[in-house]
Amino acid sequence: MRRGFGLTQKVRAKREWIFNGHKSREVRYCVDFEDINGVYDTMKRGIVCLFIVALVFLVSFGQCESTREGLDPFYLAGRRLFESILGRQGVLNEGKTNEKRDLFPRPPATTTVSRTPSSTIWHLHPTKTTGMNTGAPTPISSNKPIRFQINPGEVHKYELSGFNLSGDHTNLYTTINVCSEPQSETLFGKGGPNGLLLYASNENDTDEHLPGIETQFGFANVTLLQLNNTYGIAMVVAPDLDDAQGNWTYEIGMSTVGPIHSVNSHPNLYLVDTDFANALFVTGNLTENRNVSDYDIYIYSATNSINRRLMGSYCALSTHGALLNTKNTNVSTTTRGPGKTKGQFFVHSLNKSTNYFAYLTQPNINMEGGVVFHSVNYSTKAEQNCQLVFDLEFCADVAFAVPGNASMFEPPELGHFYDEMARHRYTNFSRSLENVACNATDENRYSLMRNCDNCADSYKQWLCAVTIPRCTDYTLNHTFLRPVKAGQSRNPEVNKVIRPGKYKEIMPCADLCYRIVQDCDPSFAFQCPKKGRGLENSYGEYSDNGDISCSYPGAVYFLSAAHHITAGHFLSLLLFAISLFILW
C-alpha cells in the first residue's frame, strides 16, 4: 500500500464500492514518519495525524452535504444501495424485530470494459460464452428498448449497428431489466442461479469474447468504453432450469447516449411519517430541470416477491401490479424543512399495522426506460389514535401524526384545529415583540448577532412543536417516548375537543427552547429547564442513528443527523487549522 495519508486511496475505495460493486477491502490509514529528528517533532506530527484522520473521515462521510444551499440535504441520511432491505428507515417497522440483510449481497450487475489496452478495466470477472448456438442476431435500434420472453436454456442475440462515433469518447451502454420470472425452487433457492445473463461486445467475429454479467435484482449493465467501430452485439442467456414453470419477460436496450435502465444508489425518497392508513413522503431537492412530475412512486406490500427479486428493475416496478402508484397518490411540492423545494407524495388507503415498500422511479426524458432509486421500507401504525396532518397554514413546517380521533375528525379538519390553536397563542407573543426596539441602531439593539426576526421565527417553531404533539402507537417501547393515557394530554384543549385515546408522544427537541433564549431579548426572561431538573420530562434530544427521537418542524427520517454532522465537520476543520497554526 502506498505510504502517506491515504486520502486518495480512501476516495477510490469508496467509488469502487458505490459504482463498481466490489465489496471494498479494508483499507488501513497510517502515517509513517521515518526521517524525524527528535521526539518533539514526532509528537507534533502525531497530533496532526489524528486531526487529519478525523478530517478525512468527516469529509468522506459528509462532504458536499449542505443543509442550507443547493445541494441535496437528504443525502446526509447516508442510506446506500447496499443497506438492509428488511431494516428500517428511522422507526419504520415500529415495534417489530427487523432481520438485517444486504440489499445487494452480491456485487451489483454492472461491468465496464474499455477496448483501449492501456485502460482496460475489469471490475468483475465476467464469464465467457462457450459453445452457445446463438443463430442470427435480431436488429435493435439505439435508444429504443425491446421486450421479449425467453424460456429456460434459450439464448437471444441482438445487433446494433450504424451508430455515430463521437471521437474517442463513444461508449456503448447495454442494459437489461427482468420484468417477470418463472416459478422455480431452483431459481429462488439458496445458492441457485440469480437470473438471466447479459453479454455484450463490439466484436463481430466470435461469441467467445463476450464479457457478461448476471442480473442482480432484475438489473444488469455492460458498458463498453471508447469504441473503435460502429457495431455492438448483445446476448441474453437464460439458465436451464428443470423445474421452471413459465418463462422470463425481459427488456433490453442499447444506447450510446446513456444507460436506458439504471439503479441509483443515492436515496431520493424519504418517509415523513405514517398513521394507521396513510403515509407521507418527500423527495430530494427539485431543480429547474427536475420537477415532481418527472417522478413516479410505486407502493408494494412487503410480502411481494418483487422486493426480494426484482427491486432494481424499472420494467418490473412499473408493470408488476403495484398496490398504489402515482395515479392514485396525492402529488404536490413543499418547501418544508431544510433545502429547496421538494416533491411530496401523500399515499392513502393503506392497511393498519402493515409493512410496505415504496419505490421512486424517474422515467428517461429523451428515451424509454428510467431510473430506480433506493426503496423505502415502512410500516403503518396499529392504532387509530394518531392521524397524519401536513400543509398547515401557520405551522407550515409541521408534518407528522398528531393525537386524533378518527371517528370524529378527518385529517384536514384536525390539522386546522391544531393550526388555529397555535396561531391564537402566538398573538400575545407578537404583541409583546412590538415593545422591543427591533429597528434600533446597532448600539442600542439587544444583540448584534440576533434580531427580532430571529426571535419571532424561533418562538414560532418552538410554539408549534409544544402546541402540536407528535404522536405514535402506545404499544411502542422506545425510551424517548412519553406515555399519555386518555384524557391526560399536556394540552387541555386536546383533552376537551379531540379526546384521543392513549398514545405515546415524541417530545419537542430541547434545542427549540435553547434557541428562544439565544435569539430573543432578555426582557422576555425565557428560561429552559436543566438536565436532571425537569428537562427530560418536557423535551427530547436528537438521535444519531436517524430515528426521530424528538419533535422538530420539518423532520424527516434520516435527516435529523444532518445538523450534528455539519457542526462536527466545521469543528474538526477549525481544530485542524488551529493545530497547524500552533505547531508550525
Q: Is residue 248 part of a domain?
A: yes
User: For position 441, what pLDDT does the model report?
Assistant: 79
Are 299 and 323 in contact by the 8 Å Cβ rule? The answer is yes
**Residue positions counted in the chain:** 584
Please tell me whether residues 478 and 506 are part of one structural domain: yes
Please give the C-alpha separations between residue 410 and each of 406, 421, 542, 553, in angstroms, as whole numbers: 7, 17, 31, 22
177 belongs to a structural domain: yes
Beta pairing, strands 197-201 & 370-373: unpaired
Q: Residues 321, 253: one domain?
A: no
Would you say residue 317 lies in a domain? yes
Sequence-distant (≥ 6) Cβ neighbours of residue 505 within 8 angstroms:
403, 469, 470, 471, 472, 481, 482, 484, 490
Residue 36: inside a domain? no
Residue 222 lies in a domain: yes
Contact (CB, 8 A) for 214 and 191: no
Whether 263 contacts 372, CB under 8 Å: yes
Identify the pLDDT of residue 375: 93
Q: Are residues 428 and 517 in the same domain?
A: yes
CA angle 408, 411, 417 (to 5 degrees): 80
Query: Under 8 Å CB-to-CB from 492, ≥6 apart: which residues?
Result: none
Count of domains observed in the chain: 3
Residue 543 domain-assigned? no
Asked if 143 and 253 count as a contact pair (C-beta separation under 8 A), the reply is yes
Q: Using the 3D structure, point to which of 328, 359, 380 is the last residue of a domain.
A: 380
Are 452 and 505 in the same domain?
yes
Q: Are residues 242 and 153 located together in one domain of the fold?
A: yes
Residue 207 pLDDT: 53
Q: Which amino acid is at 556?
A: V
- pLDDT for residue 320: 86
Looking at the structure, do residues 501 and 417 belong to the same domain, yes or no?
yes
Residue 168 DSSP one-character state: T
- 469-523: pLDDT as tens digits: 999 999 999 999 999 999 999 889 999 999 999 999 999 999 999 999 999 998 8
pLDDT of residue 111: 47
C-alpha cell at 528: 429552559
Domain containing 280 equals: 264-380
| 73 part of a folded domain | no
Helices 39-62 and 7-15: crossing angle in degrees, nearest 10, is 20
Q: Measured on CA atoms in the order 423, 427, 432, 433, is the torsion positive or negative?
A: positive
**332 and 220 Cβ atoms separated by less than 8 Å:** no
Q: Which of 380, 399, 431 is the last residue of a domain?
A: 380
Residues 506 and 447 in one domain: yes
Residues 6 or more apart whose CB falls under 8 angstroms from that of 305 comprise: none
Distance CA 61, CA 64 (A): 9
- The pLDDT of residue 358: 97
**Using CA atoms, how far apart are residues 259 and 368, in angstroms rounded to an integer?**
10
Residue 173 domain-assigned (yes or no)? yes
Q: Reduce the DSSP state of residue 408 to 3 states and report it.
A: coil
Residues 226 and 354 in one domain: no
| Whether residue 354 sits in one domain with residue 254 | no
Those residues of the chain that have pLDDT short of 50 are 1-40, 53, 56-131, 559-584
Same structural domain, 531 and 390: yes
Q: What is the CATH number of the domain that holds 219?
A: 2.60.120.380
- Give the C-alpha separation, 387 to 92, whole Å: 16
Query: How far is the C-alpha of 401 from the C-alpha of 378, rounded, in Å?
Result: 15
| CA separation for the pair 538, 509 (Å, rounded) | 9
pTM to 2 decimals? 0.74
Q: How far apart are CA 248 and CA 305, in angstroms?
A: 15
Convert the pLDDT of each residue in 341-389 to its tens digit: 999 999 999 999 999 999 999 999 888 999 999 999 999 999 999 999 9
Q: Which of 259, 281, 312 is the last residue of a domain?
A: 259
Output the CA angle 81-82-84, nearest 5 degrees. Answer: 105
**Does one domain contain both 236 and 305?**
no
Q: Could you tell me if 392 and 516 lie in one domain?
A: yes
